[in-house]
Structure 1
Amino acid sequence: MRQHMPYAKITGSGGCLPPRIVSNDELAAELAGRGIETSDEWIVERTGIRQRHIAAPGVKTSELATEAARLAMQDAGVQAGDVDLIVLATSTPDYVFPSTACLVQANLGIKGGAAFDVQAVCSGFVYALATAEAMIRVGRARTALVIGAEVFSSILDWSDRSTCVLFGDGAGAVVLQASDEPGILAAQLNADGSQMKILCAAGNVSHGKVEGDPFLRMDGQAVFKLAVTSLARSARDVCAQGGVELSDLDWMIPHQANVRILNFLSRKLGVPDEKVVVTLDKHANTSAASVPLALDAARRDGRVRSGDLVLMQGVGGGFTWGSVLARM
C-alpha cells in the first residue's frame, strides 16, 4: 500500500537584524559628505523606507543566518539532531563555496542531511520554501530550516542614490516540518532570464580579479512594472491552485521592496491594507530576508496566528517571482 505523503507545515520562525540602525537623516548626512544629495522626505515619499539595519564591516551572511535559524528552532522546539535539511536563500554568500547553508549547519552543530544555497535574489525565500516543501512531501526530509539572509550593504554602490537608499541587511528563518495537517497549500515559481539586465550585480571573481561590475544596478521603472503585473498574476494563480479566493486570505506578506509596489499590488488584488504585513519602513529591502523577517515580526506581535491563511510573495533579479500559500 502506498504511504500517505506528508504535508509540510511552518512550526517556528526567527529573525536577526544587525544592531546598527541607520535612519534616513543619518544616511542623507553620510551621502552629503560624498557630494550626493538626498533627504528623509525624498526617501520616504518614493519608497516608504524610514530606516535600515546595516551590518558592521566583516559581519558575514552566515552569522545573521545562524542567529535567525537558532531562534526559529527555539520557537519550533526542535534540536540540532532533528534538522535533516537546510535550504538557504542569499545573493551575498560568505564564499564562492562552501555554501552559506553548510556554514550555518556547522555553526548550529547539525550533522547529516542536505544543506545548500538557493539563488533567486529577492524571490529567494519563496523559492527555498517551495524547494523544502517538495522534499518533505516526497519523504526526502522531515524537518527543514528555510533561511533568507543577506548583507546587501556589501554590494551597494554608495554613490548611486537610486539604489543605496533602498536596501538593508538581515536574516529570517522558518522551521518547516512534515505534518499530517495541510500547511503549504500551493506554491508557484517563475523566471524570465531575458529580463536579467533590469536588476543585476553582474560582476564576479576570476583569476583573482573582479571582472565586470560588482555593484547592484537597477532600472527602477522597469522593475516596478514587471513586479506589479507578475505578482498580481502569481497571487491569483496560487490561490486558484490552493482552492481559495483572494478574499479568504488573512494576511499577505509580499517582498518588501517599495511601498508603491505594495500599495499598487494590494489595490489590484482587492486586498485591504490592514491585511498586508509591512516592515519596509523599519527594515528597508533585505532581499531574500524580507519575507521571513516580515512573517516573523507578524507572528511575534500576534498578528499572524495558528490557522491563518497567509500568502507570501517574492520578486527579484533574474528576473524571478513566485508565491507560496500557507495555512499557519
Structure 2
Amino acid sequence: MRSFIAGTGSYAPEKVLTNRDLEKMVETSDDWIVERTGIRERHVASPDEATSDLAVKAAVRACEAASLDPKDVEAIVVGTITPDYPFPSAAAVLQGRLGNKKAFAFDVSAACAGSLYALSVADRYVASGAVKNALVVGADTLTRITDWTDRNTCILFGDGAGAMVLKPTDDPSRGILTTRLHSDGALVPILFQPGGGSREPISEKVLRDKSHFVKMNGREVFRVAVRALEESCREVLAAEKLTPGDVTYVIAHQANKRILDATLQRLELPASKCWMNLEKYGNTSAASVPMTLDEANRAGWFKPGDVILMMAIGGGMAWGASVVRW
C-alpha cells in the first residue's frame, strides 16, 4: 500500500511587499533583486496573523479538495521554523483551530525542507496503515525573523502556507514512490538563526546584535544547494529506475531563481517543466513546496500517471527529494 496526495491547498497573506517598497527601506533596487533572485514581490503576514492562521486556511482548502472533513483527519504533521509559540507545536494549535479531536499532531523542523520532511513522515504512517489519512502542512512567517536592515536577506523572504492531504491507495501506478532525506549539521553556520534558543536566549545583547534574525552566507548556500539538490534528485529517480527524461513536472522549493536554473540545467530538465511562483511569493520556507504544488495542481498541470519530482533544501543544512506518480 502507498499513500497518494488526495488534495492540496495554499494561502498567502493579503499584504504585498514589492521590490519598489524595499528600495525605500534598504539600499537596493528592483533590477538588482530580480537579476540575482528572480523575486519581484512577497506576501507579509499582518500584525495579527501568526503561522497557524496561515496554516488553517491552507489546511481547510486541502481538506475540501480531498473531500475530507478536517475533524476526521487522523495525523497532522507541520513543517515550520516559526511556530506561534516555542511550545506547543504549531500542529497542535492547528488541530485545535480545525476542531479536530482524532489526530495526533506534531511539528518537523527542517527549515525550507520542512514540508518535504513532514511529507515523508506522514507518508510512512499512511502507507503502513497506521492511520487512514494525514494532513501535511508547510507554513512559515519568515518575515518575523528577518532583519529589514540587511539587504542580503530581507529581499528574499515572504510568508505563506501550503497543505497536502494523504490517503492510502492499492493502485501500484500512483502515489508517493520514493523519498530520500539528508542533513549535514557541519553546515549550520551558513544558514541559521543564532539567537533566541537555549544557546543564546533572548536578551538585550541578542536584540542589540540582531542575532535573533536569520543569518546567511549566500555564496556557500548556493554552492551546497545546487550540488545537494542534483544528487538527491538523481538518487530518488534511480531508486525507481527512472531518469530525468522520465520526469513530467518538477515541484521545487522556490529559494532563488539562480539555484533552480542551475539545478535544472545539471539535470538537463527544461525550465518549462518546473512551476515557478518565486517572483510573486519569494522564499516562503517550508510553505514553498506545497504552495507550488497547489498552484500547479489547481492550474490543471497534473494528469494521472504523471511523474512529479519534488525537491527542497533548507538551513541545517537539510535537503531531500521525492518522486510522486500522480
For normalisation by structure 1, the TM-score amounts to 0.94
Q: In the alignment, does 2:188 pair up with 1:188? A: no
Q: In the alignment, does 2:137 pair up with 1:153? A: no
The aligned amino acid for 1:51 is: E
Contact 2:157-2:282 within 8 A present in 1 as well: yes
- Separation in structure 1 between the aligned mates of residue 302 and residue 21 of structure 2, nearest angstrom: 33
Note the C-alpha offset of 1:59.
1.0
Note the C-alpha offset of 1:58.
2.8
Q: Within 5 Å, which residues of 2 pair with 1:244-263?
A: 244-263=242-261
Q: 300-309 vs 135-144, which deviates more?
A: 300-309
Seen in structure 2, the aligned counterparts of structure 1 residues 28 and 306 have a Cα distance that, compared at 3 Å, is farther
Match of 2:2 among 2, 7, 10: 7
Match of 2:22 among 14, 19, 27: 27
Q: Point out 4+ residue stretches in structure 1 off by more than 4 angstroms.
A: 205-209
Gaps of 5+ in 2: none
Alignment partner, residue 91 of structure 2 = 101
Tell me the C-alpha RMSD between the 2 structures: 1.4
- Separation in structure 2 between the aligned mates of residue 39 and residue 300 of structure 1, nearest angstrom: 33
Contact 1:123-1:288 within 8 A present in 2 as well: yes
- Separation in structure 2 between the aligned mates of residue 57 and residue 40 of structure 1, nearest angstrom: 25
Note the C-alpha offset of 1:205.
5.1
Contact 2:30-2:40 within 8 A present in 1 as well: yes
Q: 301-310 vs 287-296, which deviates more?
A: 301-310
Note the C-alpha offset of 1:307.
2.7
Alignment partner, residue 277 of structure 2 = 279
Gaps of 5+ in 1: 1-5
Q: In the alignment, does 2:299 pair up with 1:309? A: no
- Separation in structure 1 between the aligned mates of residue 23 and residue 10 of structure 2, nearest angstrom: 27
- Separation in structure 1 between the aligned mates of residue 287 and residue 115 of structure 2, nearest angstrom: 7
Contact 2:191-2:214 within 8 A present in 1 as well: yes
Secondary structure of the residue that 2:76 maps to in structure 1?
strand
Q: What are the superposed Cα offsets for residues 137-176 of structure 1, whole Å, 9 maximum, x if unpaired?
A: 2222121000000010000001100000001000000001
Secondary structure of the residue that 1:106 maps to in structure 2?
helix
- Separation in structure 1 between the aligned mates of residue 9 and residue 268 of structure 2, nearest angstrom: 30
Alignment partner, residue 202 of structure 1 = 194
Secondary structure of the residue that 1:177 maps to in structure 2?
strand
Match of 2:13 among 10, 18, 25: 18
Alignment partner, residue 110 of structure 1 = 100
Note the C-alpha offset of 1:113.
2.4
Seen in structure 2, the aligned counterparts of structure 1 residues 209 and 247 have a Cα distance that, compared at 3 Å, is closer
- Separation in structure 2 between the aligned mates of residue 253 and residue 205 of structure 1, nearest angstrom: 32
- Separation in structure 2 between the aligned mates of residue 60 and residue 98 of structure 1, nearest angstrom: 14
- Separation in structure 2 between the aligned mates of residue 190 and residue 205 of structure 1, nearest angstrom: 23
Note the C-alpha offset of 1:206.
5.8
Secondary structure of the residue that 1:322 maps to in structure 2?
strand
Alignment partner, residue 224 of structure 1 = 222
- Separation in structure 1 between the aligned mates of residue 201 and residue 297 of structure 2, nearest angstrom: 44
Q: In the alignment, does 2:27 pair up with 1:73? A: no
Alignment partner, residue 174 of structure 1 = 164
Alignment partner, residue 165 of structure 1 = 155
The aligned amino acid for 2:6 is: T
Q: In the alignment, does 2:122 pair up with 1:132? A: yes
For normalisation by structure 2, the TM-score amounts to 0.95
- Separation in structure 2 between the aligned mates of residue 243 and residue 185 of structure 1, nearest angstrom: 11
